[in-house]
């Protein structure tokens, strides 16, 4: 271990990051910025080529910064895994989605681990950052690695450190977001802590990978459950004839014991709708039903239907039906100021509207084209959509959109995000 620690202390380590997506690329850049050589590994040749040409495809990473690291030869991308032999540490950032039956799909993690084993070197540190259920590192990864490397904490080091990146966040990034680390042995925590301290400001060590895995799931379950609660409060407020946004704003004036969450058209992104289900799945294997998670998932999952019913109400008021109406969706990414469409509620809303016979078109400054298995749509200019549509629905409240203009030009507006806050107009329908 001493040899590896010395290398880390003198910044003379070579790190590999497997999976160059929203998580892996910003991490690789942060490592390179700290003057450490990093191998960016991905099975997607397009991403590998883009990195080596110095071109960023992740909004949080600027092309100039990426290009600088490539030019300085600190960052190089590979689609082959052979480079692993020459590395001291390998960090896994591959996707952990759900399969068709909404159970954890760890095939990409397993495949990355197998590639590490095939190309293993000596005294390497392996860290899993992909979100997963408690027990994955110890139960699934450790036995595989130990079989080929030898004894953990002596022949190799293994830790779990959850990624906490918040795409689009201008304040918190990979460097200044505290990093939780749980190692299999105390040697593993020590090596991983030393390594990450080179490019992350604060480290929070915990007693095991299982605890670190649970930390991430607590964080995301906390959000999912609280969003579920506030979505239900929005439905209650609607029945009571109370403006939910006014209630949340006023409740937020309490300086203690209250934390505001916002209702919306449903959950999106790779994390909040998916991660809690990793936890409930694991608990099912232990004969325990994660009731809060199930309820929040049900309420949040119903929100697209709820907002489509709002469109229905809004159109009814003008003697129109959803069928044969033109509905214009403003903002389709799952949250503001990013281009990520994964699990976006906009997609569910569009599908529901189409099923009910509406003609649907959209505008999003970050998404030119929706190209999914079951949906292909090209964005249109904002002005055109506002003038042509019978009803405009705001799904994502991108900062660059002028909502006064939206209200002025549109015939009817259903605002799911309170983007039209402060604009008084009877044609606006809120959640």
Ligand X SMILES: NC(=O)c1ccc[n+]([C@@H]2O[C@H](COP(=O)([O-])OP(=O)(O)OC[C@H]3O[C@@H](n4cnc5c(N)ncnc54)[C@H](O)[C@@H]3O)[C@@H](O)[C@H]2O)c1
In degrees, rounded to 5, the angle at the alpha carbon of residue 34 between the alpha carbons of residues 32 and 36 is 55
CB of 20 to ligand X, least distance (A): 5
Q: Is 161 helix (H, G, I), strand (E, B) or coil?
A: coil
User: Phi, psi at residue 429, to the nearest 5°?
Assistant: -110, 125
Verify binding: residue 418, ligand X, rule CB under 6 A. no
Verify binding: residue 23, ligand X, rule CB under 6 A. yes
Which x/- pattern, by CB under 6 A, does the window 27-66 give for ligand X?
Answer: --------------xxxx--x-------------------
For the chain, what is the largest distance between any 2 Cα atoms, rounded to a whole number of angstroms?
Answer: 77
Verify binding: residue 98, ligand X, rule CB under 6 A. no
Cα 338 to the chain's mean position, in Å?
11
Among the listed residues 93, 188, 237, 271, the single catalytic one is 271
And the tokens for 255?
A: 């300086």
Q: Measured from the CB atom, is 98 or 142 closer to ligand X?
A: 98
User: Phi, psi at residue 161, to the nearest 5°?
Assistant: -140, 105
Q: Which of 18, 127, 370, 393 binds ligand X (CB under 6 A)?
A: 18
8 A C-beta contact, residue 150 and residue 117: no
Strands laid side by side in the 14-18 sheet: 75-78, 37-41, 14-18, 89-92, 124-128, 156-160, 179-183, 203-206
8 A C-beta contact, residue 160 and residue 193: no
Verify binding: residue 343, ligand X, rule CB under 6 A. no
Q: Which of 271, 332, 395, 412 binds ligand X (CB under 6 A)?
A: 271
Contact region with ligand X (CB under 6 A), list: 92-100, 193-201, 254-262, 405-413:
92-100
Cα four-point dihedral sign 84, 27, 9, 2: negative
d(CA 140, CA 74): 32
Which x/- pattern, by CB under 6 A, does the window 123-162 give for ligand X?
Answer: -------xx-------------------------------
Which x/- pattern, by CB under 6 A, does the window 167-186 give for ligand X?
Answer: x-------------------
Q: Measured from the CB atom, is 59 or 365 closer to ligand X?
A: 59
Can 93 be counted among the known catalytic residues?
Answer: no
And the tokens for 90?
A: 């390998």
Verify binding: residue 87, ligand X, rule CB under 6 A. no
CB of 165 to ligand X, least distance (A): 5
Q: Which of 1, 5, 14, 21 binds ligand X (CB under 6 A)?
A: 21
Q: Measured from the CB atom, is 172 or 258 closer to ligand X?
A: 172
- What Rg, from alpha-carbon coordinates, does the chain have? 24
d(CA 280, CA 282): 5
Verify binding: residue 95, ligand X, rule CB under 6 A. yes
d(CA 188, CA 99): 32
Q: Measured from the CB atom, is 167 or 182 closer to ligand X?
A: 167
Q: Measured at CB, which residue is nearest to ligand X?
A: 21
Verify binding: residue 96, ligand X, rule CB under 6 A. yes
8 A C-beta contact, residue 135 and residue 104: no
Residues that bind ligand X (CB under 6 A): 18-24, 41-44, 47, 93-96, 108, 111-112, 130-131, 163-165, 167, 270-271
Catalytic residue numbers read 271
């Amino acid at each position: 271990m001493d040899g590896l620690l010395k290398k880390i202390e003198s910044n003379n380590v070579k790190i590999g990051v497997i999976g160059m997506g929203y998580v892996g690329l910003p991490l690789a850049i942060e490592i390179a910025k700290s003057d450490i050589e990093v191998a960016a590994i991905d099975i997607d040749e397009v991403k590998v080529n883009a990195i080596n040409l110095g071109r960023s495809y992740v909004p949080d990473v600027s092309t100039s910064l990426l290009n600088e690291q490539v030019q300085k030869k600190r960052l190089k991308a590979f689609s082959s895994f052979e480079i692993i032999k020459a590395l001291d540490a390998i960090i896994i950032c591959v996707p952990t989605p759900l399969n068709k039956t909404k159970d954890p799909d760890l095939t990409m993690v397993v495949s990355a681990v197998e590639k590490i084993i095939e190309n293993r070197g000596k005294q390497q540190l392996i860290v899993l950052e992909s979100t997963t259920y408690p027990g994955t590192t110890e139960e699934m990864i450790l036995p595989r690695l130990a079989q080929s490397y030898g004894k953990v904490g002596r022949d190799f080091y293994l830790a779990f450190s959850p990624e906490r990146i918040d795409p689009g966040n201008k304040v918190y990034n990979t460097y200044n977001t505290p990093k939780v680390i749980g190692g299999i042995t105390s040697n593993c925590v020590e090596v991983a802590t030393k390594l990450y301290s080179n490019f992350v400001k604060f480290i929070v060590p915990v007693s095991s990978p299982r605890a670190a895995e649970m930390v991430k799931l607590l964080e995301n379950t906390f959000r999912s459950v609280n969003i579920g609660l506030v979505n239900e409060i929005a439905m209650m407020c609607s029945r009571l004839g109370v403006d939910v946004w006014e209630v949340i704003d006023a409740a937020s004036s309490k300086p203690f014991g209250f934390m505001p969450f916002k209702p919306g058209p449903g959950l999106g992104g790779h994390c909040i709708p998916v991660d809690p289900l990793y936890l409930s799945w694991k608990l099912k294997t232990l004969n325990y039903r994660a009731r809060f998670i199930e309820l929040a998932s049900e309420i949040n999952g119903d929100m697209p239907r709820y907002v489509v019913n709002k469109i229905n109400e809004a159109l009814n008021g003008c003697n129109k039906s959803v069928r044969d109406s033109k509905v214009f969706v403003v903002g389709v990414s799952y949250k503001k100021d990013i281009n990520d469409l994964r699990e976006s509620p906009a997609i569910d809303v569009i599908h529901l509207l189409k099923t009910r016979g509406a003609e649907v078109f959209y505008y999003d400054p970050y998404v030119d084209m929706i190209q999914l298995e079951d949906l292909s749509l090209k964005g249109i200019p904002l002005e055109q959509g506002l003038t042509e549509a019978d009803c405009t629905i705001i799904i994502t409240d991108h900062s660059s959109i002028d909502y006064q203009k939206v209200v002025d030009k549109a015939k009817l507006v259903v605002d799911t995000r309170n983007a039209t806050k402060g604009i008084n107009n009877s044609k606006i329908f809120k959640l």
